[in-house]
Amino acid sequence: MADFGADVELETFRGEARAWLEANFPASLRGKAGEAMNLMEGGTPAGDLAAWRKRLADKGWTTPTWPTEYGGGGLSVLQARVLQQEMDKVGAFNPIHSVGMGITMIGPTILDYGTPEQKKRHIPPIVKGEVRWCVGYSEPGAGSDLASLTTKCEDAGDHWKVNGQKIWTSGAQYADWCGALVRTDTSKKHEGISFLLIDMHQPGIETRPIKLIAGASPFCETFFTDARAAKDDMLSDLNKGWSVGKRLLQHERASQTGAGGMGGGRSTPLQDMAKSYVGVDEAGRIADSDLRTRVARHLMDTKAHGLTIARATAEARGNANPGNAASVLKNSATNVAQTRSELTLEIMGHQGLGWDGDAFTSDELQTVRGWLSGKAMSIYGGSAEIQNNIISKRILGLPDATQST
Ligand SMILES: Cc1cc2nc3c(=O)[nH]c(=O)nc-3n(C[C@H](O)[C@H](O)[C@H](O)COP(=O)(O)OP(=O)(O)OC[C@H]3O[C@@H](n4cnc5c(N)ncnc54)[C@H](O)[C@@H]3O)c2cc1C
């Protein structure tokens, strides 16, 4: 845990947060963040989970750093981190943080680029968890080279008309709204792109789920056929969507810097799992010395990643805007999470080969699926190679090798 020093104001806030959690977080939900994960697949909360979501949202703490005038908590970055620490201590969780892409990507981008009317209309429902958003960027012919996108948006007088196809649209089958990059001028590449907010509940949109290697269908092909968007649902100006799109990606990458991610990790510490599966030597250490060295190296990398995040948060102070450094942290988080997954599977030996059946515990089966789905970490939000390009170009100032994001 980061030491923020003897900051009296922060410690006062810590006391307030602790007392509020004590009074409002239902004990029945302690450590049950998994129940919120079920909401990702279109579920509606009930009972204590519904009550907890409402209390946290009414307090503005589902989006702690967002402005209070749009329903957010108005906290500084450091206060938000203290709140998270206090939530972790009592096993509390944010029930809507990962439900759709409103909190992590679309909301922050609307706050950065939206008009006051757009913020008033779209931000409060995100804070309350009432709407789900998806992000429509990738197309069959536009992934890393995103600016090649062709989904066409025309001015149809009283509305925008959209035709084309997106792919890999996470959660599109459950989403109420889509933040999409569309082509509004075919004569220019980057300067011919606009950012449109599109209501998903209309006949002109069809979603077809795609199965991922780990068995779930978290994303879709999304088809737009004469789909409509209101004239005032364009974010920023016509043909100025590329800058908006890049900012959203920075928010996305910043939200993916936690190394817990989809790495398939189990709550048991890796070293304990290694001792249990592989055995111990006479000194009580992991019996296999090569494995022991690699586990130790991984634990040091994990610690270094955590400390780097804490330092970046402390240095950012009031500034919640991510920059290109999000690319460094995203790659680092991916390395840590994927290495942990690989080591976990290796430690489990043949127990790490299960897909279903009684020969494996549910933890073991989950680990295998987590290992598979964790492969996606180095692809979504822009692949690891694209992050390296951004780091070399925008942080290290090396020559421009790509026209990508
Ligand atoms: C689980 C998951 C969820 C996703 N969710 C969404 C979503 O919600 N919305 C959305 O719009 N998209 C989403 N995506 C798509 C994701 O953003 C793209 O897959 C990603 O940007 C890569 O694009 P691509 O798949 O077309 O691969 P390509 O661009 O074809 O890349 C193929 C390979 O070539 C490498 N490569 C390409 N260009 C370069 C270069 N210039 N320099 C070096 N290497 C290069 C890449 O690193 C990669 O290894 C998701 C993807 C996954 C896996």
Structure tokens, 67: 């402005």
Q: What is the mean pLDDT of residues 305-324?
A: 75
Does the pLDDT value for residue 154 go beyond 90?
Answer: yes
Mean pLDDT over each residue of the chain, to the nearest integer: 91
* Confidence category of residue 58, pLDDT binned at 50, 70, 90: very high
* Confidence category of residue 317, pLDDT binned at 50, 70, 90: low
Is 11 in the active site? no
CA angle 267, 273, 274 (to 5 degrees): 145
pLDDT score at 144: 96
**CA 281/CA 263 separation, integer angstroms:** 28
pLDDT score at 148: 98
Least confident of 202-216, 287-301, 309-323: 309-323
Q: Which residue's structure tokens are 């920059």? A: 323
Does the pLDDT value for residue 403 go beyond 70?
Answer: no
Residue 127 near residue 60 (C-beta atoms within 8 A) = yes
Atom 16, ligand 1: which residue's CA is nearest? 380
Name the burial class of residue 277, with classes exposed (0-12), middle (13-18) and buried (19+) by CB atoms within 10 angstroms of its CB: middle
Beta-carbon count within 10 A of 404 CB: 17
Does the pLDDT value for residue 319 go beyond 70?
Answer: no
Does the pLDDT value for residue 33 go beyond 90?
Answer: no
Give the pocket of ligand 1 (CB within 6 Å): 134-138, 143-144, 168-170, 219, 376, 379-380, 382-383, 385-386, 389, 402, 404
The residues facing 136 across adjacent strands are 180
Strands (E), 244-323: none
CA max distance for the chain: 79
Ligand 1 centroid distance, CA of 69 (Å): 36
The three-state secondary structure class of 160 is: strand
Dump pLDDT digits (tens) for 110-145. 999 999 999 999 999 999 999 999 999 999 999 999
**Nearest atom in ligand 1 to 144's CA:** 29
Does the pLDDT value for residue 6 go beyond 60?
Answer: no
Atom 7, ligand 1: which residue's CA is nearest? 169
Residue 162 near residue 206 (C-beta atoms within 8 A) = no
Structure tokens, 345: 């599977």
CA angle 164, 170, 175 (to 5 degrees): 80
**CA 169/CA 134 separation, integer angstroms:** 7
Dump pLDDT digits (tens) for 361-378. 998 998 999 999 899 999
In single-letter form, the type of residue at position 124 comes to P
**pTM for the full model?**
0.91
pLDDT score at 257: 81
Dump pLDDT digits (tens) for 180-227. 999 999 999 999 999 999 999 999 999 999 998 888 888 999 999 999
**CA 142/CA 386 separation, integer angstroms:** 14
pLDDT score at 314: 72
CA dihedral angle for residue 171, residue 174, residue 180, residue 183, rounded to 10 degrees: 100
- Nearest to 33, CA basis, from 52, 14, 59: 52
The three-state secondary structure class of 348 is: helix
Question: How far does the chain reach from its first CA to its final CA, in angstroms?
Answer: 33
Domains of the chain: 8-99 (1.10.540.10), 132-241 (2.40.110.10), 256-395 (1.20.140.10)
Beta-carbon count within 10 A of 330 CB: 28
Does the pLDDT value for residue 405 go beyond 60?
Answer: no
In single-letter form, the type of residue at position 74 comes to G
Question: Which is more confident, 198 or 401?
Answer: 198
* Confidence category of residue 254, pLDDT binned at 50, 70, 90: confident
Q: Which of 69, 154, 252, 364 is catalytic?
A: 252
**Nearest atom in ligand 1 to 381's CA:** 17
